[in-house]
């Protein structure tokens, strides 16, 4: 028996066991492609699967797709359209589903699991469970204590032992972190209760556990201007903080001192993604519908009018056209959505070309971005008068206001307008995995775990100690991620 075990390889296993390993969920789309290219068993036809599939790996990718929550929630027409847009390749369909799922959270790179999040004048980075920050520490948002006013390079935040952070969100004056166990920590200015703690008398300079969410495991958090939104693993949404425009979604304008469940969304269905703008919220439900609430200014809610919404209201444009949305991004004055076919929609204030339609006209309801219809988008990212779209080939497209070079086009002036999507050619060879943009700066993470930043660096928000700004993507070198970096205590 021992001799048989010693001489047996993976390909000698029964076909049903091989298929079980391939569909276990431990392999990503890239792993499947590598297997198909390196072994005849995975790339050929051995009557281990229906004839309509090109290979065993193709069949495994199909199985992974139909068991994926996003794909299973799509209608038959949407599923067929996605398959066609992926050139009839199940591996590409599976890759699309994985990339969209991770676009708001952790992405896998050659250097491990990473996520980047940009605030107004600072940047937060997750690398293999540890969190690093750089830039200006307004109100303690960097999480290093009251003595730290600025970090000129990425500096590790001290969390309690054994804490592994999986998702982070940054605003101008506070930040929130979700751990592997589903706990939530916050830091920054809590004067409006946005950090989820009843004590508003002092700023929170180091990450503090949000006790009101104990026993309620979360998977995502998104922070706006003086308020926070939490998404639980059950698909429920909690909010806290200022509520001037009804952005907490409770049907009133009362402040929320601690996280409270948005009951209307419980009645609607399971939420899969959230995005907080300055004073409004977008929520994607598992059936592809999008709901919005809060400030209606600049048509950001997508209802064709500028009325505030105190409770979640469905965007009729997507519902009536049977468009299944999988991801959204809430900018300062406009919003962006990504559907299940990798198509992009924008709406809100068109100033500086932030909507990408070749003009500066406001769009009161979501409009398809036809100039990118031949690409399969996997992430959308909106902020102050600018938008980025990441496609499945790792290429980034940007449009809107250059804003101190934060669009990444060195041949354009720092205040120029880019009215249509344009690729960031200097990043093409690096294959970007995730992008995040702040007020005047932008940071990306590549497949190989490299970090590039561009735009304003006046407050060291790009993590460069000496550069004042970068008009084109410039690599950020983070030395010894497991060690403490340089901390500046200058005002």
Whole-angstrom distance, CA of residue 188 vs CA of residue 120: 13
Whole-angstrom distance, CA of residue 402 vs CA of residue 203: 33
Whole-angstrom distance, CA of residue 273 vs CA of residue 283: 6
Q: Which residue has the higher pLDDT, 370 or 60?
A: 370
Q: Note whether 283 and 327 are within 8 A (CB).
A: no
Mean pLDDT of the chain: 91
Whole-angstrom distance, CA of residue 227 vs CA of residue 330: 14
Nearest alpha carbon to residue 452 among 444, 464, 440: 444
Task: For the chain, give every domain's residue range.
Answer: 2-102, 107-476
**Phi and psi for 14 in degrees, rounded to 5?**
-55, 145
Whole-angstrom distance, CA of residue 276 vs CA of residue 222: 6
Q: Note whether 372 and 344 are within 8 A (CB).
A: yes
Tell me the per-residue pLDDT of 414-464, one tens digit each, with 9 for 90 and over: 889 999 999 999 999 999 999 999 999 999 999 999 999 999 999 999 998
Whole-angstrom distance, CA of residue 479 vs CA of residue 113: 17
Helix and strand tally (H, E) in the chain?
10, 29
Q: Note whether 148 and 484 are within 8 A (CB).
A: no
> Across residues 331-345, what is the average pLDDT?
98
Handedness of CA 421, 425, 429, 432 (dihedral sign): negative
- List Cβ neighbours of 158 (8 Å cut-off, separation of 6 or more): 144, 206
**Structure token pair of residue 36:** 């198909």
Residue 147 DSSP class = T
- List Cβ neighbours of 282 (8 Å cut-off, separation of 6 or more): 274, 275, 290, 291, 292, 328, 330, 335, 337
Whole-angstrom distance, CA of residue 199 vs CA of residue 187: 12
Tell me the β-bridge partners of 190.
Answer: none
Tell me the per-residue pLDDT of 266-325, one tens digit each, with 9 for 90 and over: 999 999 999 999 999 999 999 999 999 999 999 999 999 999 999 999 999 999 999 999
Full-model pTM: 0.93
**Structure token pair of residue 250:** 């409770």
Whole-angstrom distance, CA of residue 353 vs CA of residue 385: 8
Tell me the per-residue pLDDT of 137-189, one tens digit each, with 9 for 90 and over: 888 999 999 999 999 999 999 998 899 999 999 999 999 999 999 999 999 99
CATH architecture of 107-476: 7 Propeller (2.130)
CB 52: neighbour CB atoms within 10 A? Answer: 8
End-to-end alpha-carbon separation of the chain, Å?
71
Length of the chain: 491
Tell me the β-bridge partners of 348.
Answer: 334, 363
- In order, the DSSP letters of 262-309 are -HHHHHH--EEEEEE-SSEEEEEETTS-EEEEE--GGGTTSSSS---E
């Amino acid at each position: 028996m021992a001799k048989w075990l010693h001489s047996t390889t993976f390909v000698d296993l029964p076909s049903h066991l091989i298929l079980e390993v391939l569909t276990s969920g431990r392999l990503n789309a890239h792993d499947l492609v590598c297997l198909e290219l390196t072994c005849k068993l995975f790339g050929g036809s051995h009557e281990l699967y229906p004839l309509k599939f090109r290979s065993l790996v193709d069949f495994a990718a199909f199985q992974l797709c139909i068991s994926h929550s996003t794909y299973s929630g799509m209608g038959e027409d949407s599923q067929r359209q996605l398959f066609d847009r992926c050139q009839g390749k199940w591996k590409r369909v599976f890759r699309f589903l994985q990339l969209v799922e991770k676009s708001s959270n952790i992405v896998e790179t050659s250097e491990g699991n990473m996520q980047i999040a940009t605030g107004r004048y600072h940047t937060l980075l997750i690398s293999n469970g540890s969190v690093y920050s750089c830039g200006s520490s307004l109100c303690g948002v960097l999480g290093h204590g009251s003595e730290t006013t600025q970090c000129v390079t990425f500096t590790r935040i001290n969390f309690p032992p054994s804490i592994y952070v999986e998702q982070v969100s940054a605003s101008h004056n506070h930040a929130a972190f979700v751990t592997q166990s589903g706990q939530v920590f916050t830091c920054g200015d809590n004067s409006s209760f946005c950090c989820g703690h009843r004590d508003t008398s002092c700023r929170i300079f180091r990450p503090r556990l949000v006790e009101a969410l104990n026993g309620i495991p979360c998977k995502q958090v998104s922070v706006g201007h003086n308020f926070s939104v939490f998404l639980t693993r059950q698909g429920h949404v909690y909010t806290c903080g200022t509520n001037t425009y009804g952005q907490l979604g409770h049907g009133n304008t009362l402040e929320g001192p601690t996280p409270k469940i948005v009951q209307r969304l419980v009645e609607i269905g399971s939420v899969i993604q959230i995005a907080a703008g300055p004073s409004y919220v977008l929520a994607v439900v598992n059936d592809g519908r999008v709901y919005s609430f809060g400030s209606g200014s600049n048509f950001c809610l997508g209802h064709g009018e500028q009325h505030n919404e105190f409770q979640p209201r469905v965007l009729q444009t997507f519902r009536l056209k049977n468009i299944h949305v999988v991801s959204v991004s809430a900018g300062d004055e406009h919003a962006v959505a990504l559907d299940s076919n990798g198509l992009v929609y924008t709406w809100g204030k068109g100033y500086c070309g932030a909507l990408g339609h070749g003009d500066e006209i406001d769009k009161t309801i979501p409009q398809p971005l036809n100039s990118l219809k031949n690409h399969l988008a996997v992430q959308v990212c909106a902020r102050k008068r600018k938008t980025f779209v990441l496609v499945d080939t790792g290429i980034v497209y940007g449009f809107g206001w250059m804003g101190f070079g934060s669009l990444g086009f060195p041949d354009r002036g720092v205040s120029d307008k880019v009215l249509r999507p344009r690729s960031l050619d200097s990043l093409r060879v690096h294959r970007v995995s995730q992008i995040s943009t702040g007020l005047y700066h932008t940071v990306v993470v590549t497949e190989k775990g490299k970090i590039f930043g561009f735009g304003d660096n006046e407050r060291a928000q790009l993590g460069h100690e000496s550069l004042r700004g970068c008009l084109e993507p410039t690599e950020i070198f983070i030395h010894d991620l497991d060690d403490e970096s340089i901390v500046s205590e200058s005002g």
